Structure 1
Amino acid sequence: FGDSLVCVDLKTGQRKWHFQIAHHPIWDYDLSSAPLLADITVNGKAIKAVALPTKEAFLYVFDRVTGQPVWPIEERPVPQSDVPGEKTSPTQPFPTRPPAYARQSIGIDDLIDFTPQLREQARQVVSRYRLGPMFLPGVVSKAEGPIAALTIGTTGGGTNWPGSSYDPETHIVYAQAANTGIAPIGLVEPPAGFSDIRYVAGTAGQPFVEREGPGFGSAADAPQRGRGGAPGAAPAPGPAAGGRGAAAAAPGAPGAPPAGGGGGFGLQVQGLPLLKPPYGVLNAINLDRGDLMWQVPHGDTPDVVRNHPLLKDLNIPKTGQQGSVGLFVTKTLVVLGDPSVTTTPEHPRGAMLRAYDKQTGAQVGAVWMPAPQSGSPMTYMANGKQYIIVSVSGGNYSGEYLAFSLPASESRPTTQGGQR
Structure 2
Amino acid sequence: MCHGSGRRPRSLFPTKPPAFERQGVSEDDLIDFTPELRAEALQIVENFTLGPIYTPPTLQEPNGNRGTIALPSAGGGVNWPGGAVDADAGILFVPSVTRPSLFGLIDGTEGTGVRYHISSASGVPTVRDLPLIKPPYGRITAIDLTEGEIIWQIPHGETPGYIQAHPDLQGVDIPKTGILTQSSGLLVTSTLLFAGEGARGAPVLRAYDKRTGEIVHELQLPGGPTTGFPITYMANGQQHIVVAALDEERIAELVAFTLP
- Normalising by structure 2, we get a TM-score of 0.90
Give the number of aligned pairs. Answer: 254
Question: How many angstroms does 1:394 deviate by?
Answer: 9.7
**SS of residue in 2 equivalent to 1:294:** strand
CA distance in 1: counterparts of 2:36 and 2:198, whole angstroms: 29
CA distance in 1: counterparts of 2:195 and 2:81, whole angstroms: 11
Is 2:46 the partner of 1:124?
no
Is 2:60 the partner of 1:201?
no
Match of 2:150 in 1: 292
Query: Which letter maps to 1:183?
Result: S
- Write out aligned runs for 1:161-200 (5 A): 161-179=80-98, 181-192=99-110, 195-200=112-117
Contact 2:97/2:180 (<8 A) preserved: yes
Distance 1:394 1:192, change over 3 A: farther
CA distance in 2: counterparts of 1:133 and 1:154, whole angstroms: 13
Give 5+ residue unaligned stretches, structure 1.
1-22, 25-88, 204-243, 247-265, 343-349, 412-420
Distance 1:185 1:91, change over 3 A: same
**SS of residue in 2 equivalent to 1:91:** coil
Match of 2:230 in 1: 377
Query: Which letter maps to 1:201?
Result: I
- Which has the higher Rg, Structure 1 or Structure 2? 1
- Write out aligned runs for 1:329-344 (5 A): 329-339=188-198
Is 2:220 the partner of 1:368?
yes
Is 2:158 the partner of 1:305?
no
Higher relative contact order (CA 8 A, sep 6+): 2
Is 2:26 the partner of 1:110?
no
Question: How many angstroms does 1:190 deviate by?
Answer: 3.6
Q: Deviations over 1:37-78 (max 9, x none)?
A: xxxxxxxxxxxxxxxxxxxxxxxxxxxxxxxxxxxxxxxxxx
Match of 2:208 in 1: 356
**SS of residue in 1 equivalent to 2:79:** coil
CA distance in 1: counterparts of 2:9 and 2:50, whole angstroms: 18
RMSD of the TM alignment (CA)?
2.3
**SS of residue in 2 equivalent to 1:159:** coil
Contact 1:156/1:323 (<8 A) preserved: no
Contact 1:299/1:339 (<8 A) preserved: no
Q: Deviations over 1:174-194 (max 9, x none)?
A: 111112x2111111124446x
Question: How many angstroms does 1:393 deviate by?
Answer: 4.1
Question: How many angstroms does 1:170 deviate by?
Answer: 0.6
- Write out aligned runs for 1:17-36 (5 A): none
CA distance in 1: counterparts of 2:113 and 2:249, whole angstroms: 41
Contact 2:229/2:243 (<8 A) preserved: yes
Question: How many angstroms does 1:396 deviate by?
Answer: 6.4
Contact 1:182/1:267 (<8 A) preserved: no
CA distance in 2: counterparts of 1:245 and 1:341, whole angstroms: 18
Is 2:188 the partner of 1:270?
no
- Normalising by structure 1, we get a TM-score of 0.57
CA distance in 1: counterparts of 2:128 and 2:180, whole angstroms: 18
Q: Deviations over 1:264-322 (max 9, x none)?
A: xx431111111111111111100111100000100011111111111111121211112
Contact 2:48/2:67 (<8 A) preserved: yes
Give 5+ residue unaligned stretches, structure 2.
1-5
Query: Which letter maps to 1:147?
Result: R
**SS of residue in 2 equivalent to 1:319:** coil
CA distance in 2: counterparts of 1:121 and 1:390, whole angstroms: 42
CA distance in 2: counterparts of 1:384 and 1:394, whole angstroms: 29
Match of 1:323 in 2: 181
Distance 1:312 1:394, change over 3 A: farther
CA distance in 2: counterparts of 1:152 and 1:372, whole angstroms: 26
Match of 2:3 in 1: none
Contact 2:96/2:138 (<8 A) preserved: yes
Match of 1:19 in 2: none
**SS of residue in 2 equivalent to 1:391:** strand
Distance 1:290 1:394, change over 3 A: farther
Contact 1:371/1:394 (<8 A) preserved: yes
Match of 1:392 in 2: 245
Question: Which residue of 390, 395, 402 corresponds with 2:255?
Answer: 402
CA distance in 1: counterparts of 2:117 and 2:249, whole angstroms: 34
CA distance in 2: counterparts of 1:395 and 1:139, whole angstroms: 44
Q: Deviations over 1:144-172 (max 9, x none)?
A: 23211110114234211211011111100
Contact 2:199/2:227 (<8 A) preserved: no
Query: Which letter maps to 2:159?
Result: T
Q: Deviations over 1:316-347 (max 9, x none)?
A: 121111222210100000101013656xxxxx
CA distance in 2: counterparts of 1:360 and 1:317, whole angstroms: 19
State the identity as a percent. 40
